[in-house]
Amino acid sequence: MKAVIAGGGTVGMQLANQLGAEGIDVVLIERDPERARILSHRLDCLVITGGCNSLEVLRSASVEEADYFIAVTGSDEVNMIACGLVSSEFVVSLKIARVRSIDYSTTAISGKSFLGIDRVVNPEQEAANEIVTSVERGAMSDVFVFRNSPLQMRPITVVTGSPLVGRSLAQIGTELNVSFLVGVIVRGRAYLIPDGTTVIEEGDQLYSIASEHDFREIFGTLGKPRQPIQKIIIVGGGKVGRLVAERVQSRAVDPENPTAKKGQGGWARLFAGERRKLQIVEQDYEKCKELSAQFPDALVTNADISDESVFQEEKFGDADLLISTTENQELNMVTALYARSLGVKRTMVLVNNSSYVSICGQLNIDVAVSVKNAVVDTIVSTIRHGDEEVVGSVRSIAGGTIEVLELTVGRESRAVGRALRDLRLPKDTLIMSVSRGGEAFVPNGESTLATDDKLVTIARHDQYERLNEIFRGVP
């Protein structure tokens, strides 16, 4: 397999690392000579200097031999033209373009073939999806929901004074009396796959899998009970802020009761039905006028959020949730911290740097969404979906070192009928959940697998091919 990546920014670099670790032959195209020189020393792949909208450069990258062409330069137009050029001149199975402009990434276009592009990935839309998913579930933490499992994964940050500090996972499981599994612990810049004897330390980030109900019990025990969200403040009226506002106002389905209509069930409890209040704070006056027209039921405030008097004048302290989505990630974090000090119950922030996600957890910010991680995970998932029988969602952890994968057990898999302890899975690999016949359970070493079981696994990103071999049955 071969992938050609156009654009050597942070997203392109992480994609090159992850795909290369899977044994995919990667070629990276970067226009800036100095950046290309740096990447050639950091990455174990061929780096070509030049513009990806040049046929000569594309031929030098041997695009005609590629299975995937991924355009993630800083320009929407360049990404689209490059994919179009590849489509017209070469036979490449999958062309993916990162397109930031909402006009170019509407629902009608995204996910469909367009100008030779097989998949349009919009960073703002992906980030907004993650934000809204967390809001729907109480904004207590980041949430990763699976395609084929009713369970979900959430990170739990162990803050100063947490009752988890100094206790083993076995003790915690006994005391909480709920069914959950900690798949990986991120500790500083390292990670570990824990067992029952692992003792929790302050600052640990526990990536756990459990049901919605059991997570409520866990967070309640940790002092974060789920509370109704009636007043929401969105800071920043840019693309992400607008998308979140649209989806918060238009949601009509309760995720815990899909048959209920707006105003009924858990959704009514979360947002207090139609009585919920939405306020958008934006510094640019022209944007405020546009926002007022687009959201007539929302209160739009023209103000600079860095001016602390705004919090007092607007009485932000009584808000249930503040979501800061400006393009300045440091301002988002500071805004969330100040909001929490004034009594705002839940805070969410948008960041670009994925390393800031764990920092936000230490600062007691409830949810931090990384735009870069959202894009990389979406692109990797799209590539993996080339085998619909085996691979579902993908989520990166610890800077892409660890991945959470959904896998399906194939008919020819040697895993069928065997106990998990006998599978000889790669090091640092754990099966966190098995879904069978609409039911899901957390397995142990004695659990056996059946054809078409849906698995949630956690493993090093370079073990994908090995897991694919085990569960699909490729010799």
**CATH code of residue 202:** 3.30.70.1450
| Burial annotation 385-407 (CB, 10 A radius, 16+ → b, else e) | eeeeebbbbbbbbbbbbbbbbbb
Residue 360 placed within a domain: no
Q: Rounded to an integer, what distance in angstroms lies between the CA atom of residue 138 and that of residue 337?
A: 19
The CA radius of gyration of the chain, in Å to the nearest whole number, is: 23
pLDDT tens per residue across all 475 residues of the chain: 899 999 999 899 989 988 888 788 999 999 999 999 999 999 989 999 999 989 999 999 999 999 999 999 999 999 999 999 999 999 998 999 999 876 555 545 554 556 788 888 999 988 998 999 889 888 888 888 887 788 888 988 888 888 899 999 999 988 887 888 898 898 887 888 888 899 999 988 899 998 888 898 888 888 888 888 888 999 999 999 999 998 887 654 444 444 444 443 344 444 444 446 899 999 999 999 999 999 998 999 999 888 878 887 777 888 899 999 999 999 999 999 999 888 899 999 999 877 788 788 888 899 999 888 888 888 888 887 654 444 456 777 766 678 888 888 888 888 888 888 888 888 888 888 898 887 888 888 888 999 988 888 888 877 877 887 888 765 5
Residue 367 placed within a domain: no
Q: Are 238 and 259 in the same domain?
A: yes
Residue 121: both structure tokens together? 């990935």
Q: Are 213 and 234 in the same domain?
A: no
Q: Are 233 and 328 in the same domain?
A: yes
Vertex 279: Cα angle to 274 and 281 (nearest 5)? 165
Is 132:247 a contact under the CB 8 Å cutoff? Answer: yes
Q: Rounded to an integer, what distance in angstroms lies between the CA atom of residue 124 and that of residue 374?
A: 9
Q: Are 35 and 98 in the same domain?
A: yes
Alpha-helical (H) ranges within 225-264 are 239-250
Last residue of a domain, one of 202, 221, 240: 221
Residue 464 placed within a domain: yes
Q: Rounded to an integer, what distance in angstroms lies between the CA atom of residue 267 and that of residue 228?
A: 9
Nearest to 16 by CA among 68, 74, 52, 51: 68
Residue 136 placed within a domain: no
Q: Are 242 and 335 in the same domain?
A: yes
Q: Are 96 and 171 in the same domain?
A: no
Residue 363 placed within a domain: no
Residue numbers of the domain that contains 418: 375-472
Q: Are 20 and 91 in the same domain?
A: yes
Number of domains comprising the chain: 4
Q: Are 298 and 242 in the same domain?
A: yes
Q: Are 35 and 8 in the same domain?
A: yes
pLDDT score of 326: 94
Q: Rounded to an integer, what distance in angstroms lies between the CA atom of residue 330 and that of residue 311?
A: 18
Print the SS3 string covering 32-69.
Answer: CHHHHHHHHHHCCCEEEECCCCCHHHHHHCCHHHCCEE
Residue 303 placed within a domain: yes
Last residue of a domain, one of 344, 362, 396: 344
pLDDT score of 411: 85
Q: Rounded to an integer, what distance in angstroms lies between the CA atom of residue 323 and that of residue 301?
A: 15
Q: Are 214 and 273 in the same domain?
A: no
Count H helices and E strands in the chain, helices first: 15, 22
Is 219:257 a contact under the CB 8 Å cutoff? Answer: no
Residue 368 placed within a domain: no
**CATH code of residue 90:** 3.40.50.720
CA distances from 221 to 177, 191, 374 (A): 11, 25, 30
Alpha-helical (H) ranges within 257-401 are 265-271, 285-294, 309-313, 329-341, 356-362, 371-384
Q: Are 211 and 232 in the same domain?
A: no
Q: Rounded to an integer, what distance in angstroms lies between the CA atom of residue 279 and that of residue 302?
A: 11
Q: Are 286 and 382 in the same domain?
A: no
Q: For strand 144-145 and strand 68-71, is the pairing parallel, antiparallel, or unpaired?
A: unpaired
Other C-beta atoms closer than 10 Å to the C-beta of 292 total: 16
Last residue of a domain, one of 173, 192, 221: 221
**What is the layout of strands, in order, in the sheet containing 346-351?**
299-302, 277-282, 231-235, 321-324, 346-351, 367-370
Residue 135 placed within a domain: no
pLDDT score of 115: 74
